[in-house]
Amino acid sequence: MRRDAARRGMELAREIRIVAAPAGLWEEIEAGLEKGRRERTAPPPRPGRRLVPGLAIAAGLLLVLLAAGLYGILRRPVTGWVASPLDGAPQIASGRLTTPSELRVGEWLTTDGTSRARIALPGLGRVEVEPGSRVRLARSRLTEQRLDLERGALDAVILAPPKIFVVSTPSASAVDMGCAYRLAVDAAGRGSLRVTAGWVALEKDGREAVVPAGALCAIRPGRGPGIPFYENSPSSFREALAAIEENAAPTEARRAALDTVLAAASARETLTLWHLLRAVGPADRGAVFERLGALSPPPAGVNRAGIERLDERMLRLWKNDMLRVWLSGQPRDDFMKRWTSLWGYLKEGLDR
Amino acid sequence: MSGRHIDERLIEGCRRGDREAFRALFEACGDRVYSVCLHMLRGDEAAARDLTQQIFVDLFTTIGQFRGASEVTTWLHRLTVNACLDELRRRRRLVPLEEARLEEAPSPEDRAAADEAGDRARAIAAAVSKLRPKIRIAILLKHVEDLSYEEMAKVLRCAKGTVASRLNRGHRILARRLAHLRGPARGRG
């Protein structure tokens, strides 16, 4: 019955009329193109009238005072991190952690092969420190909460607004963008980031990898973040990507692996292709641009030449255009959610 | 639209800024783009005309970034979809009750008017215009632009299964709303 209805509907839809574009439309388009050309070549508009100087100076001073006051509040140290034992006998500073205790800035928390601990800050979220880990509270301010993970693994669930909570490892820093994730690193600085909700920016020396939920990104000593990929991507895709990451030199094998990655990529793998733009040499960048453009056409203001020379603004524009695809299936980060998380974090922080 | 009188030479001409090539590309695609806009905007000819103009100006301004006919046509479809959905969103803010009427069945007066006029095409257009925007655009990309499921998934940025489900739903709604139409289909107008 339903199939018959669908078939009948399809037959009717085939009768949808194609209407000829009205006469004169082409001339209007030509006029629009000409207008756009003139606007692009026109000199910049003249500046408007200046503010009355006295009023401008007074307003400026007031703004400086307000900014200084706000800066002082936001930069003041925040206390309230609490470490609690979960299993075994974790160590805090120089003593054994047996009951919930404050973790101060600069103090280390260490777990052996059988112990686990939780550290939490009200309004920010919680971090579970897995066995064999060494973690330090490096900084605690309203605008920045930073942990150093020297080795081991941690699971973080963060409720605070984006960009406040950061975990540094010897090889890269994970900047929370509103998410839950697992970060692991060994003593040599080799590790991985696996995100389960939201997304994380993995950074090192100006290089950034975007790692959304469902994706995994390797961390390599001396090289920072690797190329993120979805764990449910086709196995041929993941294997070829691993070959690219292992062979830095432009060999035949690397080229073949790149061809495999490009051929196997679908809309979600634009995540990996966007990061590949930086990882491949100029000779291969055009091929990556073409495949990425076919899967997700570049937005206005982004062009091939700019991408080939790794123009930061164009790369960012394109990335922002694709973020919603990479984050599809995630809870929506709406205004109320942001406001609630910011308010909860500030309220807890200012109360302390 | 894909491949209809569009070859690599034509695209290369457009990339070089050749106005004759632009015109040829418009002649190859303009009617279908205008038709999609017209159906999406429920027969508002002035708005469809403005939207088509904007889409082609945007296309010709950015065409230098694309290589090959398939990339350009994908980009044109995406511009069309975005422009139509943006315009509908803008209208929804201005006239909040308009969308609420989308899922209503055709009124007896509508049906009688369509029957009376004997205008099958108008009845179909009216039924299409009452589909929800996401379903409507899928139906139009399939039956006006003649896109494959894969092309539609790329343009709409969703899975092929989602495309299939929207089309199936749209076809069933059309069958239900146009149950009063009988007889063989005529050729396209």
Chain A residues closer than 8 Å to B185 by CB = 11-12, 14-15
Quote the distance between the C-alpha of residue A56 and its chain's center.
39
Is B138 part of the contact surface with chain A (CB cutoff 8 Å)?
no
A-to-B residue pairs, Cβ atoms closer than 8 angstroms: 142
- Give the SS3 label for residue A96: strand
For residue A145, what are the contacts with CB-CB under 8 A and spacing of at least 6?
A78, A121, A124, A139, A160, A164, A165, A166
Q: Do B57 and A33 touch (CB under 8 A)?
A: yes
Q: Compare CB distances from A297 to B74, B171, B181 and report the shortest one's residue.
A: B74
**Tens digits of residue pLDDT in A250-276:** 778 888 999 999 999 988 899 999 999
Residue B146 has pLDDT above 60, yes or no: yes
Instruction: Tell me which of A57-66, A94-103, B67-76 is least confident.
Output: B67-76
pLDDT class for B2, splitting at 50, 70, 90? very low
**Tens digits of residue pLDDT in A24-36:** 899 989 888 887 7
Chain B residues closer than 8 Å to A314 by CB = none
In this structure, are residues A12 and B131 in contact, taking their beta carbons and an 8 Å threshold?
Answer: no
Residue A203 has pLDDT above 80, yes or no: yes
**Tens digits of residue pLDDT in A72-87:** 666 666 667 899 999 9
CA B64 vs CA A300, B60, B116, B125: distances in Å: 11, 8, 50, 36
- B56–chain A nearest CA distance, Å: 7
Buried b (16+ CB within 10 A) or exposed e, B127-147: bbbbbebebbbbbbbbbbbeb
Is B121 part of the contact surface with chain A (CB cutoff 8 Å)?
yes
- A341–chain B nearest CA distance, Å: 28
Chain A residues closer than 8 Å to B80 by CB = none
Q: What is the mean pLDDT of residues A39-65?
A: 73
Q: Which residue of B has its CA nearest to A294?
A: B71
Higher pLDDT, A153 or B100: A153
Residue A22 has pLDDT above 70, yes or no: yes
Is A16 part of the contact surface with chain B (CB cutoff 8 Å)?
yes
CA A188 vs CA A170, A185, A192: distances in Å: 8, 8, 13
Nearest to B177, CA basis, from B72, B118, B103, B79: B103
**Tens digits of residue pLDDT in B155-164:** 888 889 999 9
- B8–chain A nearest CA distance, Å: 15
Nearest to A209, CA basis, from A147, A291, A277, A307: A277
For residue A307, what are the contacts with CB-CB under 8 A and spacing of at least 6?
A277, A285, A289, A298, A314, A315, A318
Residues 150-179 of A with CB under 8 A from B: none
| Cα four-point dihedral sign A91, A95, A101, A102 | negative
Q: Compare CB distances from B53 to A8, A16, A32 and report the shortest one's residue.
A: A32
In this structure, are residues B152 and B142 in contact, taking their beta carbons and an 8 Å threshold?
Answer: yes
Higher pLDDT, A189 or A350: A189
Average pLDDT, chain A: 86
With 0-12 CB in 10 A as exposed, 13-18 as middle and 19+ as buried, what is A66?
exposed
Instruction: Tell me which of A85-94, A152-161, A301-310, B111-120 is least confident.
Output: B111-120
- A325–chain B nearest CA distance, Å: 7
Q: Give the Cα separation of A109 and A91 in Å (integer).
A: 6
For residue A132, what are the contacts with CB-CB under 8 A and spacing of at least 6?
A111, A112, A113, A151, A152, A153
Is A14 part of the contact surface with chain B (CB cutoff 8 Å)?
yes
Is A287 part of the contact surface with chain B (CB cutoff 8 Å)?
no
Instruction: Tell me which of A36-40, B17-21, B176-180 is least confident.
Output: A36-40
Chain B residues closer than 8 Å to A293 by CB = 65-66, 71
Q: Do B124 and A17 touch (CB under 8 A)?
A: yes
Q: Do A25 and B53 touch (CB under 8 A)?
A: yes
Q: Give the Cα separation of B135 and A146 in Å (integer).
A: 47
The DSSP letter of residue A77 is B
Q: Give the Cα separation of A335 and A339 in Å (integer).
A: 6
